[in-house]
Amino acid sequence: EGGRFEFTYTPTDAATTPHVITASYAGDTVYLASTDTYSQAVEKRAADVLLTVSPSTAYISQAVTITVSLSDDSTAGTAATPTGTVTFSDGGKNGTFSSDTATLSGGTCSVTYTPAAWDAGVTTISASYGGSSVHETASATSELTVELRPTRTTVTGSTDVLLVRQPFTYNVIVEDIASAGSVTAPVGTLAYSSLQLGADATLVPGVGIAPSASFVYTCLRLPVNLNSDGFDTSVGGYDT
């Protein structure tokens, strides 16, 4: 009407910008044909990243689930569900992801993460959205508290009363008693001690290697006046 008309243009992606819009008049028996173009700047829509780690506290060697949900965070136009991939990182720690990259489906994706040795403390998990032709890149972080796996050390000795200078072999076992994750035999050094070592007793060897080891303990002497409760009632002196 009056030589003008209007139309609505909705960009579906911003892989290239600006979008060049061309209007062409075909002409008629009175007017010649003509054309014009308009360069429309187009920006990608913003995306919001929600990153969750469950559980938020885990033992070393216990897998946790990491879930990422993305949503359209722009107020203008029609919202669109973000598509593309998300890349995960633990900030250089020793843990492992089931996959470093996951593809969004319906705006969500998930992977598992297993913290490893030397990582007790706080691990910062990062999720980086690579963007698409519709949405800008975005990222989020969440903290995972990593704890050392608990252990139980058991010493098995003689059920009989031993005599002075009667050696006996004691066995030591160290067990992983964590309630979650991969249970493995603890490794490391076992150190043995006794208040009686020296002139009163010997213990050989002084150290062992977990998860199981043994040592030989020998009482060399007892106080002369040791009563039935095991207390020394003498001023000094030993029966050797």
What pLDDT shows up at residue 235? 42
Largest Cα–Cα distance of the chain, in whole Å?
134
Residue type, 1: E
- Residue 238: per-residue pLDDT: 44
Q: How many CA atoms lie within 13 A of 189 on its CB side?
A: 5
* Per-residue model confidence (pLDDT) at position 1: 55
Round to whole Å and give the CA distance between 108 and 68: 6
Query: For the CA atoms of 65, 68, 69, 71, what is the dihedral angle to 10 degrees?
Result: 170
Which pLDDT value is given to residue 25?
87
Say what the pLDDT of residue 86 is: 98
The answer, as to whether pTM is greater than 0.85, is no
Residue 232: predicted pLDDT: 42
Q: What residues contact residue 196 under an 8 Å CB cut-off, 6+ apart?
A: 219
pLDDT number for residue 234: 40
Q: How much is the pLDDT for 231? A: 43
Measuring CA to CA, which residue among 22, 28, 17 is closest to residue 7? 22
Residue that the structure tokens 């106080």 belong to:
223
Residues of the chain short of pLDDT 50, as ranges, are 227-238, 240
**Bridge-based pairing state of the strands 138-147 and 151-156:** unpaired
Rounded to whole angstroms, how far apart are CA atoms 158 and 213? 16
Query: How far is the C-alpha of 141 from the C-alpha of 90, rounded, in Å?
Result: 10
